[in-house]
Structures are given as structure tokens and as C-alpha cells.
Structure 1
Amino acid sequence: MNLIVSNIAQSCSEQEVREFLKRELGHYAKYVEVIDAGKPSAYATVELDAKVPYVAEVIARQIHGKQLGGQTLEASADLFTDEPPAH
């Protein structure tokens, strides 16, 4: 299961985003990949260490709306695909 986090501030480095998500998600964050850091289209995918689909939805709700780099993050659970979010 993946979590997709978008609306990442251009001012945030790949390392800042990765550290923030690992801190917020704790042991649920199996692998974090940040795509297009420093660009308006930046987003991150997080491979979740969770076996039950509803856990991904709960995690997405916890991240959605949090602030990073002065912008409000958007998050959604992506249960079926590894494709990036449509903008």
C-alpha cells in the first residue's frame, strides 16, 4: 500500500520531506520516495508497512492538512497503483 503526499512546498528539500514523513509516520513508513523536490509538482510516495487497507486511509487522514514548509499537505491512500497523482 502506498500513501501519496502532494502540495509540497518548493522550499522543501528531498531530505526535509523524507525526515518529516518518517517522523510523522513512524514505523508505518517502510520506504519514502520524494519526486521533483524543489518544483511546484513535488510529491512523495510512501510505501506503508500495513496489511489492512483501512490503515492506509487513517494514515492519509492524519497527514492530510499538516503543514510543511508553510503549505498544507494533501495525502491520499493509493491502494491499487504506483502512478503519481494527477495535477
Structure 2
Amino acid sequence: MHLTVWNVPETCSEEEVRDFIKRELGHYAKGVTVYDVGTPNAHADIELDSEVPYVGESVARELQSRRLAGVALRVSAAPFDCEGPQDARPAAMR
């Protein structure tokens, strides 16, 4: 499961963003990749150490309330972490 963190301050380095996320999420943060550091489009992709979708949504809500360098973060959780569209119907109905 992945989260995307938007609204990362331009003034933060890649290391500062990575350290902040790892400190806030602890063992849930399996991997952190930061993109476009120093630009208005700076954001991070967080790979969570969990395959349960509701955990990602819960972690996203918790991280959404945090501030990095005084800036409120925006966080979104991917609904599914797989290729292609999902058939949401129960197996018995397919």
C-alpha cells in the first residue's frame, strides 16, 4: 500500500522529508521516495509495511494532521495497490 504526501515545503531537503515521515510513521514506513525537492511540486511516495487497505487510510488521516516546517501536509492513500481495474463484486457473484 502506498501513500502520497503533497504540499511538501520547497525549503525542505529530501533527507528532512524522509526523516520526518519515518519519525511520524515509525515501523509503518517501509520506504520513502521524495520527488521534485525544492520545487512547488515537491511530494513523497510512502510504501507502507501493510497490505490492509484500511490501515493506509487510517495512517493517511493521521499524517494529514501533521505539519512539516510549519506547512500542513496533504496525504492521499491509493485505494488499491495493484495493476488494472478491480472487480469489487464478491467472488460468489462473479
CA, structure 1 residues 62+29, in 2 after alignment: closer, same or farther (shift >3 Å)?
A: same
Classify the secondary structure of the residue corresponding to 1:41.
coil
Classify the secondary structure of the residue corresponding to 1:21.
helix
CA, structure 1 residues 51+81, in 2 after alignment: closer, same or farther (shift >3 Å)?
A: closer
Deviation >2 Å, runs of 4+: 79-82
1: distance between equivalents of 2:81 and 2:40?
22
Amino acid at match of 1:21: I
TM-score by length of 1: 0.88
Q: CA RMSD in A?
A: 1.4
TM-score by length of 2: 0.82
Classify the secondary structure of the residue corresponding to 2:18.
helix
Asked whether the equivalents of residues 53 and 80 of structure 2 are also in contact (C-alpha less than 8 Å), the reply is: no
Residues 2-59 of structure 1 deviation map (CA, whole Å, 9 limit, x = unaligned): 0100000001000000000000010010000000111100000000001210000000
Structure 1: gaps of 5 or more residues: 83-87
TM-superposed CA distance for 1:81, in Å, is 5.8
Matching of residue 21 in structure 1 with residue 31 in structure 2: no
User: Which residue does the alignment assign to 1:78?
Assistant: 78
Percent of residue pairs identical: 52
Structure 2: gaps of 5 or more residues: 83-94
Amino acid at match of 1:9: P
2: distance between equivalents of 1:76 and 1:60?
6
* Structure showing greater Rg: 2
